[in-house]
Protein backbone atom coordinates (compact mmCIF):
# COMPACT_ATOMS: atom_id res chain seq x y z
CA UNK A 1 0.00 0.00 0.00
CA UNK A 2 3.05 2.31 0.25
CA UNK A 3 4.86 4.38 -2.35
CA UNK A 4 6.70 1.33 -3.75
CA UNK A 5 3.40 -0.48 -4.41
CA UNK A 6 2.28 -0.98 -7.99
CA UNK A 7 -1.41 -0.98 -7.06
CA UNK A 8 -3.59 1.91 -8.15
CA UNK A 9 -5.24 4.19 -5.61
CA UNK A 10 -8.63 2.49 -5.84
CA UNK A 11 -7.12 -0.92 -5.06
CA UNK A 12 -5.24 0.50 -2.08
CA UNK A 13 -8.42 2.02 -0.67
CA UNK A 14 -10.24 -1.29 -1.11
CA UNK A 15 -7.45 -3.05 0.78
CA UNK A 16 -7.79 -0.52 3.58
CA UNK A 17 -11.55 -1.06 3.76
CA UNK A 18 -11.22 -4.86 3.71
CA UNK A 19 -8.19 -5.47 5.92
CA UNK A 20 -7.72 -2.49 8.25
CA UNK A 21 -11.06 -0.77 8.77
CA UNK A 22 -12.87 -3.90 10.08
CA UNK A 23 -10.37 -4.08 12.95
CA UNK A 24 -11.33 -0.72 14.46
CA UNK A 25 -15.02 -0.79 13.50
CA UNK A 26 -15.55 -4.01 15.48
CA UNK A 27 -17.82 -3.13 18.41
CA UNK A 28 -17.83 0.56 17.49
CA UNK A 29 -21.49 0.81 18.57
CA UNK A 30 -20.18 0.47 22.14
CA UNK A 31 -16.74 2.10 22.26
CA UNK A 32 -17.67 4.79 19.69
CA UNK A 33 -18.94 6.94 22.56
CA UNK A 34 -15.61 6.83 24.41
CA UNK A 35 -13.63 9.90 25.43
CA UNK A 36 -12.34 12.07 22.59
CA UNK A 37 -8.72 11.36 23.55
CA UNK A 38 -9.30 7.63 23.05
CA UNK A 39 -11.14 8.12 19.75
CA UNK A 40 -8.24 10.25 18.52
CA UNK A 41 -5.86 7.31 18.94
CA UNK A 42 -7.76 5.41 16.27
CA UNK A 43 -8.12 8.56 14.17
CA UNK A 44 -4.33 9.03 14.13
CA UNK A 45 -3.84 5.51 12.74
CA UNK A 46 -6.51 6.10 10.08
CA UNK A 47 -4.92 9.39 8.99
CA UNK A 48 -1.47 7.80 8.81
CA UNK A 49 -2.87 4.99 6.68
CA UNK A 50 -4.49 7.42 4.24
CA UNK A 51 -1.26 9.38 4.03
CA UNK A 52 0.62 6.13 3.27
CA UNK A 53 -1.89 5.12 0.61
CA UNK A 54 -1.73 8.44 -1.23
CA UNK A 55 1.98 9.07 -0.57
CA UNK A 56 0.91 12.58 0.43
CA UNK A 57 3.56 15.17 1.38
CA UNK A 58 3.61 16.39 5.02
CA UNK A 59 1.86 19.68 4.26
CA UNK A 60 -1.34 17.96 3.05
CA UNK A 61 -3.88 18.13 5.87
CA UNK A 62 -5.94 15.23 7.17
CA UNK A 63 -9.08 17.12 6.22
CA UNK A 64 -7.95 17.21 2.59
CA UNK A 65 -7.15 13.48 2.60
CA UNK A 66 -10.52 12.49 4.04
CA UNK A 67 -12.36 14.85 1.70
CA UNK A 68 -10.59 13.80 -1.51
CA UNK A 69 -10.79 10.07 -0.74
CA UNK A 70 -14.35 10.32 0.61
CA UNK A 71 -13.30 8.52 3.81
CA UNK A 72 -15.28 9.57 6.92
CA UNK A 73 -13.62 10.30 10.26
CA UNK A 74 -13.79 7.73 13.05
CA UNK A 75 -16.40 9.65 15.06
CA UNK A 76 -18.60 9.95 11.96
CA UNK A 77 -18.38 6.20 11.39
CA UNK A 78 -19.38 5.60 15.02
CA UNK A 79 -22.38 7.90 14.66
CA UNK A 80 -23.53 6.21 11.45
CA UNK A 81 -23.18 2.75 12.98
CA UNK A 82 -25.43 3.76 15.86
CA UNK A 83 -28.19 5.23 13.67
CA UNK A 84 -29.78 1.80 13.29
CA UNK A 85 -31.44 2.55 16.67
CA UNK A 86 -33.70 5.06 14.91
CA UNK A 87 -35.22 2.20 12.92
CA UNK A 88 -36.32 0.43 16.10
CA UNK A 89 -38.87 3.01 17.20
CA UNK A 90 -41.74 1.35 15.29
CA UNK A 91 -40.76 -2.22 16.10
CA UNK A 92 -43.58 -4.50 17.28
CA UNK A 93 -41.45 -6.05 20.04
CA UNK A 94 -41.59 -3.62 23.02
CA UNK A 95 -38.22 -4.78 24.32
CA UNK A 96 -36.53 -3.99 21.02
CA UNK A 97 -38.47 -0.72 20.73
CA UNK A 98 -37.06 0.41 24.09
CA UNK A 99 -33.54 0.10 22.69
CA UNK A 100 -34.18 3.18 20.53
CA UNK A 101 -34.86 5.42 23.51
CA UNK A 102 -32.36 8.10 24.50
CA UNK A 103 -32.32 6.85 28.09
CA UNK A 104 -32.18 3.34 29.52
CA UNK A 105 -35.55 2.11 30.82
CA UNK A 106 -35.54 1.10 34.47
CA UNK A 107 -35.29 -2.60 35.30
CA UNK A 108 -35.92 -3.73 31.74
CA UNK A 109 -34.67 -7.11 30.55
CA UNK A 110 -33.88 -7.18 26.85
CA UNK A 111 -34.65 -10.41 25.05
CA UNK A 112 -34.66 -11.23 21.36
CA UNK A 113 -36.84 -13.91 19.87
CA UNK A 114 -35.56 -16.94 18.00
CA UNK A 115 -37.05 -15.51 14.78
CA UNK A 116 -34.79 -12.47 15.01
CA UNK A 117 -31.72 -14.68 15.35
CA UNK A 118 -32.88 -16.92 12.51
CA UNK A 119 -33.24 -13.91 10.20
CA UNK A 120 -29.92 -12.42 11.29
CA UNK A 121 -28.09 -15.70 10.76
CA UNK A 122 -29.77 -16.23 7.40
CA UNK A 123 -28.63 -12.79 6.20
CA UNK A 124 -25.14 -13.50 7.55
CA UNK A 125 -25.04 -16.75 5.59
CA UNK A 126 -26.00 -14.91 2.39
CA UNK A 127 -23.18 -12.40 2.98
CA UNK A 128 -20.74 -15.25 3.54
CA UNK A 129 -21.75 -17.00 0.34
CA UNK A 130 -21.39 -13.79 -1.66
CA UNK A 131 -17.94 -13.13 -0.23
CA UNK A 132 -16.90 -16.73 -0.80
CA UNK A 133 -18.01 -16.63 -4.43
CA UNK A 134 -15.83 -13.55 -4.98
CA UNK A 135 -12.79 -15.23 -3.40
CA UNK A 136 -13.33 -18.71 -4.87
CA UNK A 137 -10.68 -18.34 -7.57
CA UNK A 138 -8.26 -16.73 -5.13
CA UNK A 139 -8.64 -19.45 -2.48
CA UNK A 140 -9.64 -22.48 -4.59
CA UNK A 141 -7.63 -25.24 -6.22
CA UNK A 142 -6.58 -23.00 -9.13
CA UNK A 143 -5.03 -20.47 -6.77
CA UNK A 144 -1.24 -20.16 -6.60
CA UNK A 145 -1.32 -19.02 -2.97
CA UNK A 146 0.09 -21.31 -0.30
CA UNK A 147 -2.09 -22.75 2.44
CA UNK A 148 -1.00 -20.23 5.08
CA UNK A 149 -1.95 -17.29 2.83
CA UNK A 150 -5.37 -18.81 2.11
CA UNK A 151 -6.06 -19.26 5.82
CA UNK A 152 -5.05 -15.64 6.45
CA UNK A 153 -7.47 -14.53 3.73
CA UNK A 154 -10.22 -16.53 5.40
CA UNK A 155 -9.51 -14.96 8.80
CA UNK A 156 -9.32 -11.44 7.36
CA UNK A 157 -12.12 -11.40 4.78
CA UNK A 158 -14.64 -14.10 5.71
CA UNK A 159 -14.47 -14.82 9.44
CA UNK A 160 -15.20 -11.17 10.54
CA UNK A 161 -18.57 -11.37 8.75
CA UNK A 162 -19.94 -14.11 10.99
CA UNK A 163 -18.13 -13.19 14.22
CA UNK A 164 -19.84 -9.78 14.24
CA UNK A 165 -22.21 -9.74 17.22
CA UNK A 166 -21.48 -13.37 18.08
CA UNK A 167 -21.64 -12.52 21.81
CA UNK A 168 -25.42 -12.22 21.27
CA UNK A 169 -26.43 -14.65 18.53
CA UNK A 170 -23.82 -17.25 19.55
CA UNK A 171 -26.40 -18.77 21.92
CA UNK A 172 -29.00 -19.24 19.17
CA UNK A 173 -30.54 -22.62 18.37
CA UNK A 174 -28.17 -25.31 17.17
CA UNK A 175 -29.90 -25.47 13.79
CA UNK A 176 -29.13 -21.78 13.21
CA UNK A 177 -25.52 -22.09 14.38
CA UNK A 178 -25.06 -25.03 12.02
CA UNK A 179 -25.88 -22.79 9.04
CA UNK A 180 -22.74 -20.75 9.73
CA UNK A 181 -20.76 -23.89 10.55
CA UNK A 182 -21.63 -25.37 7.15
CA UNK A 183 -20.22 -22.32 5.38
CA UNK A 184 -17.03 -22.46 7.45
CA UNK A 185 -16.54 -26.16 6.73
CA UNK A 186 -17.10 -25.61 3.01
CA UNK A 187 -14.56 -22.79 3.05
CA UNK A 188 -11.93 -24.93 4.77
CA UNK A 189 -12.58 -27.72 2.26
CA UNK A 190 -12.16 -25.22 -0.59
CA UNK A 191 -8.93 -23.83 0.89
CA UNK A 192 -7.32 -27.25 1.31
CA UNK A 193 -8.83 -28.77 -1.85
CA UNK A 194 -9.76 -31.70 0.39
CA UNK A 195 -11.40 -34.80 -1.14
CA UNK A 196 -15.00 -35.60 -0.06
CA UNK A 197 -13.99 -38.35 2.37
CA UNK A 198 -12.00 -35.94 4.61
CA UNK A 199 -14.16 -35.13 7.63
CA UNK A 200 -14.84 -31.63 8.98
CA UNK A 201 -13.28 -32.69 12.26
CA UNK A 202 -10.02 -33.49 10.47
CA UNK A 203 -10.05 -30.14 8.64
CA UNK A 204 -10.63 -28.12 11.80
CA UNK A 205 -8.05 -30.11 13.74
CA UNK A 206 -5.27 -29.97 11.11
CA UNK A 207 -5.80 -26.27 10.36
CA UNK A 208 -6.28 -25.40 14.04
CA UNK A 209 -9.57 -23.62 13.25
CA UNK A 210 -12.17 -23.71 16.08
CA UNK A 211 -15.83 -24.51 15.45
CA UNK A 212 -18.39 -21.70 15.45
CA UNK A 213 -19.83 -22.59 18.86
CA UNK A 214 -16.31 -22.63 20.36
CA UNK A 215 -15.67 -19.14 18.96
CA UNK A 216 -18.96 -17.92 20.48
CA UNK A 217 -18.02 -19.32 23.87
CA UNK A 218 -14.55 -17.71 23.80
CA UNK A 219 -15.98 -14.34 22.75
CA UNK A 220 -18.38 -14.32 25.69
CA UNK A 221 -15.78 -15.14 28.34
CA UNK A 222 -14.98 -11.45 28.82
CA UNK A 223 -18.02 -11.35 31.11
CA UNK A 224 -16.00 -13.20 33.74
CA UNK A 225 -13.88 -10.06 34.10
CA UNK A 226 -16.92 -7.97 35.07
CA UNK A 227 -17.63 -9.64 38.40
CA UNK A 228 -15.47 -7.17 40.34
CA UNK A 229 -16.60 -4.06 38.44
CA UNK A 230 -17.54 -1.04 40.56
CA UNK A 231 -20.67 -0.30 38.49
CA UNK A 232 -23.50 -2.59 39.77
CA UNK A 233 -25.28 -2.57 36.39
CA UNK A 234 -22.16 -3.78 34.59
CA UNK A 235 -21.46 -6.27 37.38
CA UNK A 236 -24.91 -7.84 36.86
CA UNK A 237 -23.96 -8.66 33.26
CA UNK A 238 -21.59 -11.36 34.51
CA UNK A 239 -24.27 -13.21 36.49
CA UNK A 240 -25.39 -16.68 35.40
CA UNK A 241 -29.05 -15.55 35.41
CA UNK A 242 -30.80 -12.38 34.31
CA UNK A 243 -31.52 -9.85 37.10
CA UNK A 244 -35.08 -10.12 38.39
CA UNK A 245 -35.28 -13.91 37.83
CA UNK A 246 -36.67 -13.57 34.32
CA UNK A 247 -38.58 -16.62 33.12
CA UNK A 248 -36.63 -18.75 30.68
CA UNK A 249 -39.07 -19.64 27.92
CA UNK A 250 -38.89 -23.09 26.33
CA UNK A 251 -35.55 -23.67 28.09
CA UNK A 252 -33.81 -21.51 25.50
CA UNK A 253 -30.08 -21.08 25.73
CA UNK A 254 -28.90 -17.63 26.80
CA UNK A 255 -25.52 -16.05 25.99
CA UNK A 256 -24.60 -16.10 29.70
CA UNK A 257 -24.88 -19.92 29.60
CA UNK A 258 -21.38 -19.81 28.09
CA UNK A 259 -20.12 -18.67 31.51
CA UNK A 260 -20.73 -22.10 33.01
pLDDT tens track of the chain, all 260 residues?
787 888 888 888 888 888 888 888 887 776 777 788 888 888 899 998 898 888 888 888 888 988 888 889 988 888 877 666 666 666 666 655 655 555 544 444 444 444 467 777 888 888 888 888 888 888 888 888 899 989 998 998 889 888 887 777 777 778 888 899 999 999 999 999 989 899 999 999 999 999 988 888 777 666 666 667 777 766 666 655 555 555 555 555 555 555 55
pTM over 0.75: no
CA distances from 221 to 49, 167, 248, 259 (A): 32, 9, 21, 6
Q: Which value, in Å, is the radius of gyration of the alpha carbons in the chain?
A: 21
Residues 212, 184 contacting (CB under 8 angstroms): yes
CA 18 → CA 23, 157, 259, distances in Å?
A: 9, 7, 32
Q: Which of 127, 99, 114, 121 is nearest to 22 (CA)?
A: 127
What is the spatial distance between Cα 112 and Cα 89, in angstroms, rounded to a whole number? Answer: 15
Sequence-ordered list of residues with C-beta below 8 angstroms from that of 124, at least 6 positions apart, any chain:
161, 162, 164, 180
CA dihedral 165, 126, 250, 107 (to 10 degrees): 30
Amino acid sequence: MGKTSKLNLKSKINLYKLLIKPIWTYGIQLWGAAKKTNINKIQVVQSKTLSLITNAPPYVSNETLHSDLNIPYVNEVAKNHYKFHNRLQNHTNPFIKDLSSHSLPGNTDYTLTKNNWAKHIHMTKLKLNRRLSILRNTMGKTSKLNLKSKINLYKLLIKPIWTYGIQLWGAAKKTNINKIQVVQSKTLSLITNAPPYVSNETLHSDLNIPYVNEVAKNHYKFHNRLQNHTNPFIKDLSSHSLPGNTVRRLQRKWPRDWLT
